Structure 1
Amino acid sequence: MLSYLISQEELERFKDFLEERGIKLEKFYSKGTTSLVFIGNAESRKVIIKFERSDSPRKNFKREAKILRLLEGKEITPRLVDYGVFEGKEFLVREFAEGEPLLYSTPQKKHILQILEKTYQLDVLGIDHGQIQGGKHIIIGETVWIIDFEKASFRKPKNVTSAMAMIFLNNNVIAKRVRERFRLDQNFLNSLREVLREYKKTKNIEELRELLSTL
């Protein structure tokens, strides 16, 4: 199935290389524009292994690894396990984020509050994720994780406003599910728009916290 992207011989060499670093590649998981993604194990923990595709249009893992190191210990994203280059291709290994993408789930109040706090931390750090609005990179489980910082950068951050618009205001399946679950009326949505406009100016999160606490 993967032979047109990676030969069996190269995959076996990559497996051996990782094992020397204490990482076991176990099975194929998915493929993206820039990488092949595998499930593995390291330090007795389930991990994601991203290996650069030979036809990748860009190299982003080095920057992503830098951001993951910066975020370590902040409980925003799973811990970086390893980063390097194998036969000219980048790879990145991080702990697995247990849960389901926000796109396919209906968050509880505690999840929405966690999304607010974690996107706010990113805003404070000046890191813009760049793909928050799609819903695939916020994982809902026992806790909330934000994953895949390939397109993230140190630019004017829009994490809070992107997340809140996606969850409540936009015309998408996530917002529709949330509005239905919490029975949100137009007054709430108008208040949220006003509070978000103020947040853009001041970066003060208190009014947002107060409003979302009423859910």
Structure 2
Amino acid sequence: MFDHLISKAQLGRFYSHLRGLGLDEIGPYAKGTTSLIFRARLDEKNVIIKLQRPDSPRQNFAREAEIIKAVEPFGVTPPLIAYGVFEGLEYLIRGFAEGEIIFYAELEKRHLFEIVEKTALLDRLGLDHGQIQGGKHIIIGESVYLIDFEKANWRKPKNLTSAMAMIFLNDNYISRRVREKFGVDESFLREMRNEVRIYKRTGQLSGLLRLLSRL
């Protein structure tokens, strides 16, 4: 999977480094624009390792690690296990978010409330994830997790409004599935737009939560 991005020799040395940290069952999992992603086991738990791609000049895992540490007490994202540098390449290790990305997941009502809870929490912390609307960074399982804070920053946040736009208000694959499953009509969408405006202006969630409770 990564043969054209990292040499077998360097990959072998990285695996040896990870085994020295206590990881086993290490294998490639996915690749991003700036990282190579591996899955492994640590103390009988699944973990994810993100390694800076050798062809990427961006070094921002240290900042991402600090952000994860700041929000992990709130259960928004799996905990940070380690951050380090291997042969000039940054890497971080975090817990694995069990579940499916929202694009494929079967959303239940409780998931919608948890998405509101966790995106509103990030808003209150003043942290903007920056990639909510892409649909790849909300994991739906027994719990809801937000992952990949690589582009997150302490700036004016719009996490909840981005999530509600993706799930209900915009016309996309996710919103169409949600509308069909929950029987969402135009009246509901008008109320949703109004409640999102109220939230943006006042930070109040009560109206939005009441609206979701009707689904």
TM-score scaled by length of structure 2 = 0.97
User: Aligned residues, how many?
Assistant: 215
Tell me which residue corresponds to 1:88. 88
Q: 2: distance between equivalents of 1:156 and 1:125?
A: 10
Tell me which residue corresponds to 1:143. 143
SS of 2:161's equivalent? helix
Give structure 1 regions of 4+ aligned residues with deviation exceeding 3 angstroms.
none
Tell me which residue corresponds to 2:210. 210
SS of 1:121's equivalent? helix
Q: 1: distance between equivalents of 2:141 and 2:120?
A: 19
Q: 2: distance between equivalents of 1:207 and 1:83?
A: 41
Q: 1: distance between equivalents of 2:183 and 2:29?
A: 37
Tell me which residue corresponds to 1:98. 98
RMSD after superposition: 1.1
> What's the offset of the Cα at 1:57?
4.2
* Unpaired segments ≥5 residues, structure 1: none
- Specify the code of the residue in structure 1 equivalent to 2:98: E
* Unpaired segments ≥5 residues, structure 2: none
Tell me which residue corresponds to 2:32. 32
1:180 counterpart = 2:184:
no
> What's the offset of the Cα at 1:25?
5.5
- Specify the code of the residue in structure 2 equivalent to 1:75: G
Tell me which residue corresponds to 1:7. 7
> What's the offset of the Cα at 1:207?
1.3
- Specify the code of the residue in structure 2 equivalent to 1:16: S
SS of 1:72's equivalent? helix
Q: 1: distance between equivalents of 2:151 and 2:7?
A: 27
Correspondence 1:157-172 to 2 at 5 A: 157-172=157-172
Correspondence 1:60-71 to 2 at 5 A: 60-71=60-71
User: Is the CA contact 1:15–1:25 (under 8 Å) kept in the aligned structure 2?
Assistant: no
Correspondence 1:121-136 to 2 at 5 A: 121-136=121-136
Q: 2: distance between equivalents of 1:79 and 1:47?
A: 10
SS of 1:207's equivalent? helix
Q: 2: distance between equivalents of 1:202 and 1:40?
A: 43
- Specify the code of the residue in structure 2 equivalent to 1:99: G
TM-score scaled by length of structure 1 = 0.97
Tell me which residue corresponds to 1:43. 43
Deviations along 1:87-135, one digit per CA (max 9) or x if unpaired, are: 1100011111111100112311000000000001100101100000011
> What's the offset of the Cα at 1:213?
1.2
Tell me which residue corresponds to 1:195. 195
Tell me which residue corresponds to 1:23. 23
SS of 2:103's equivalent? helix
Deviations along 1:142-162, one digit per CA (max 9) or x if unpaired, are: 111111100000000000000
Identity among equivalent pairs (%): 55
